[in-house]
Amino acid sequence: MNTFLKYSSSALLLGLGLLGCQPEMHSPKYDAGTADFSKYIAVGNSLTAGFSDGGLYLEGQVYSYPKILSEQFANVGGGAFPQAYFSDAQSNGSGYLRLVGFTTPAPPDEPSPITANVTTNLAVRGVVNTRTNPALPVYTRVAATDVFNNYGVPGIRMADVETAGYGNASSTGGTFLNPTPIFNPYFERLLPANTNDTYRARVVATNPTFFTYWLGNNDVLGYATSGGVSPITATSTFSDINSRFIDDLTARGAKGLVSTIPDVTTIPFFTTVGPTFRRTLTRNNVPGIVITTGAFSLTAPITRRSIPTTDIKDPALGGNQLFTLTAAPYLPLFGRPGGKAWRDVFAQLRPNLPPGTPLSAFLLSQGIDTLQVFGASAGNPIPTTLVLDDAEQGVARTATNEYNNALRTKAAAKGLALFDSNTFFSGVAQNGFAANGVTNTASFITGNLFSLDGVHPTPRGYAVIANEMIKAINAQYSASIPFVNPNAYRGVRIP
């Protein structure tokens, strides 16, 4: 007899006997509840597209929160979720920022991150000249026969979703302060050539059974990042368009989730004050500013072209932040002679200046002397377009609250799930967020949740968002959709 066979057979019988004594093992039971996830469509802006690190690229698309959601919906009958992916050869999409290292200053100076633009394997097929941007990149389009379910369009506002020609390159008119008609190259890449379809009509035509809806961030973000210069959408306009859009999405019985808008002034783009600027403030080296009771205040009136606020506080010193530099790339210029910031402001405002106005005339009209130190002298002050002062922050917060009231009211009227991202991210900004024993925060680079642009999440941040949405969906529709492990997704990639 074959000894090996004999002992193998005995072992097999013994194993079967033991198995008979074991309790039954059951797979977790997942349930769609009262929702139908067979055709899920994602509606939104750059957050929905998977934008990260200042650009839209393949890895960000792969880890977008809608893609993560679709994978979890598959456990409860969810269908395929194709996206308008960039090809492997053009995997870097629009280009993005990468972290290449940190400075090594002498103490007590703090290290600062060093970033570089990724410029290879892009999906840029050319540029379109517009009045507001003389070289606006346009991207490789999807094929006319392609089907996709993620309609995240970076840059889109609620005010844009009913604009005919929003994805047509011939719609390039308007001015900086009145950018209509407007052209969005990210929407164009999702459309056949030369179509004037509106975003709302295009999305509604997909006839989803379930949708996520996260619109409105850019209606306030554009105002905030421009230092209060770009227009902000009127609440009545926002509310009316939002109501019509959700009515259309639910007209055939679709269910979904609506997300509120987070307070943009709590994100790292606004809360991260560079070490050079903070150190200068703490040493009382800025003319007209002194520290009083742990906060900053003005000792003399300063023109609006400089620091347009009467009460400046820095959260690093324990105060509430009322003063914010909105453009981190200019922080290294603080305290040094130079005119880069003013050249950029001039380029931004040129469409609204008299034709032929040279930079020198603009600087003279503003009383700017670029030979003086930037930001630390009355002759070369911080431009208002780079500062979000306390009054402007109030405008942004008021608009955010009013927009969110409109979103909540409509979601409740239609019986939709609600992800209150404003409450969630405000909590993260104050206390951080723990996931499976790992603490994440809103800190720049080290917090895991926000990417290098200080606005958009990392893959881990998008995973956290997906889980919060699943919580709301499960509660509203009596579903039991499984969560993901956020720690399985990366934060900022450290070189």
Residue 132 has pLDDT above 80, yes or no: no
Q: Which pTM does this prediction carry?
A: 0.82
482, burial (CB in 10 Å: exposed 0-12, middle 13-18, buried 19+): middle
Q: Round to whole Å and give the CA distance between 297 and 259.
A: 37
Stretch 159-181: mean pLDDT: 76
Q: What is the pLDDT of residue 170?
A: 80
Residue 472 has pLDDT above 50, yes or no: yes
Q: Round to whole Å and give the CA distance between 368 and 343.
A: 11
Residue 282 has pLDDT above 50, yes or no: no
Q: Round to whole Å and give the CA distance between 217 and 262.
A: 8
Residue 169 has pLDDT above 80, yes or no: yes
| Reported confidence tier of residue 416, pLDDT bands at 50, 70, 90 | very high
Q: What is the pLDDT of residue 138?
A: 93
Q: Round to whole Å and give the CA distance between 494 and 451.
A: 11
pLDDT in tens, 340-356: 888 888 877 776 677 78
Measured between its terminal Cα atoms, the distance across the chain in Å is 62
79 vs 274, residue with greater confidence: 79
Q: Which residue has the tokens 């200080």?
A: 454
pLDDT in tens, 37-53: 999 999 999 999 999 99
pLDDT in tens, 211-241: 999 999 999 998 888 777 778 999 999 999 9
Q: What is the CATH number of domain 40-267+393-488?
A: 3.40.50.1110
Q: Which residue has the tokens 């002759």?
A: 379
Stretch 275-291: mean pLDDT: 46
Q: Where are the domains of the chain?
A: 40-267+393-488, 270-390
pLDDT in tens, 181-217: 578 999 999 999 888 999 999 999 999 999 999 999 9
